[in-house]
Amino acid sequence: MEGSGDPEALMAALMANRQMLEAKVAINNAILTANNDVATSQPGDFFVVGECDGQKTIDGEQMPLVLNPAREGEAGGATGYEALVAALQAEKEWLEGKVVANSAVLLRGFGVRDAAEFDAVVEALGWPAIRYVGPAPRTHVHGRVWTANEGPLEQSVYFHHEMVLIKEFPGKVIVFCEVPPPEGGETPFVPSFRVTERALEEFPEVVEELDAKGLRYTFTAPSSNNTGSMRGRGWEDAFATSDKAEAEKRANALGMDVEWLPDGGAKTILGLRPLTRVFPGRKGRRMWFNTVVGMHGKELSSATAADGSEIPASFVQRCEEIIEEESIQFRWRKGDILILDNLATLHGRRPSLPPRRVLVATCK
């Protein structure tokens, strides 16, 4: 018959085709198996608990809880961050439970290299984004990633809960070290309930009185950003508008009033804020959910009781000392990712030598 060709050649072609099909099936099965391995694995298959300098045990929990890759091959390079992303997608609830239980989780050794890879990690965690509103000058970098406070590195950032004065504040703050500084520049944090416990031991009447009255804050912001100041973010950037009427509207929605100043700046007034708060799932602990130490008696800010009465300076000073005594810090390494429970920890920044590049994402 015309076109039948050599039978042996035909059989050889069929066998070659079959081998190619079998190879394709094997590849697809390998990919499927890899995906299933992540989906069906336990957290311990990917993460192992480690240690870091400065780590403390508070109420039986490590702070921070350090998680390293369980297998050496999953650290470093592009495959490191990709494997981390896959593991986090599979273990979101488990990791969130650790963040709440330990207040801080340090992911170390996963080879995350830059803002884009960090953004992929943030997305993998699945927590909704929340836009930063506050006095620190910051720049958008990639996706949900922003620079940390861009104020002078030789200055420290006082301890605070992120956006503590705003009606809607982050539940999580995720910090990534892209370039570790040669000296200093740590991001210390404090278990907030410990500050309340110790303040109650030393000043029970003052704490209860301020909690009953509530607090009132003021803060003065320039119109444009000033990176020469730790609190140099302009109101136009903070409210994402140069229109004063729209800025007032947005400020009111955030729970603050605005007074316009002759130099173009704005004075924001934030009234009836608590001294301490108790959040669900945190063992009934009273968190030191305020920024009295950071704003009391400062050049651009003030903190008083809501009725206008002064807060004793000796009380504020002692609270600052307690916060420092309870602080926890470690030396940054390139690729470190620190996840803070913003409802349970205050954080700050130590003075640093350059270069230092630390990036941040805030989440609900």
Please write the tens of the pLDDT for every residue from 285-299. Answer: 999 999 999 999 998
What ranges make up the beta strands (E) of 33-117?
47-50, 56-58, 61-63, 65-69, 104-107
Residue 32 has pLDDT above 50, yes or no: no
pLDDT (0 to 100) of residue 182: 98
Res. 71 pLDDT band, cuts 50 70 90: confident
Residue 157 has pLDDT above 80, yes or no: yes
Res. 31 pLDDT band, cuts 50 70 90: very low
Q: What is the mean pLDDT of residues 96-120?
A: 97
Residue 280 has pLDDT above 50, yes or no: yes
Burial letters for 285-312: b for 16+ Cβ neighbours within 10 Å, e otherwise?
A: bbbbbbbbbbbbeeebbbbbbbeeeebe
Q: Considering only 16-20, 75-79, 205-209, 346-350, which range has the smallest mean pLDDT? A: 75-79
347 with 340: CB under 8 angstroms? yes
pLDDT (0 to 100) of residue 363: 98
Overall size of the chain counted in residues? 364
| Alpha carbon separation from 236 to 169, 250, 260 (Å, rounded) | 20, 11, 12
Percent of the chain with pLDDT over 90: 77
86 with 39: CB under 8 angstroms? no
Q: What is the mean pLDDT of residues 256-275?
A: 95
Calculate the average pLDDT of the chain.
Answer: 89
pLDDT (0 to 100) of residue 226: 82
pLDDT (0 to 100) of residue 170: 98
Please write the tens of the pLDDT for every residue from 123-141. Answer: 999 999 999 988 888 999 9
Structure-token pair, residue 28: 């697809």
Distance CA 236, CA 362 (A): 20
Please write the tens of the pLDDT for every residue from 311-334. Answer: 999 999 999 999 999 999 999 999
Please write the tens of the pLDDT for every residue from 158-169. Answer: 999 999 999 899
Please write the tens of the pLDDT for every residue from 142-152. Answer: 999 999 999 99
Please write the tens of the pLDDT for every residue from 49-67. Answer: 999 999 999 999 999 999 9
Residue 36 has pLDDT above 50, yes or no: no
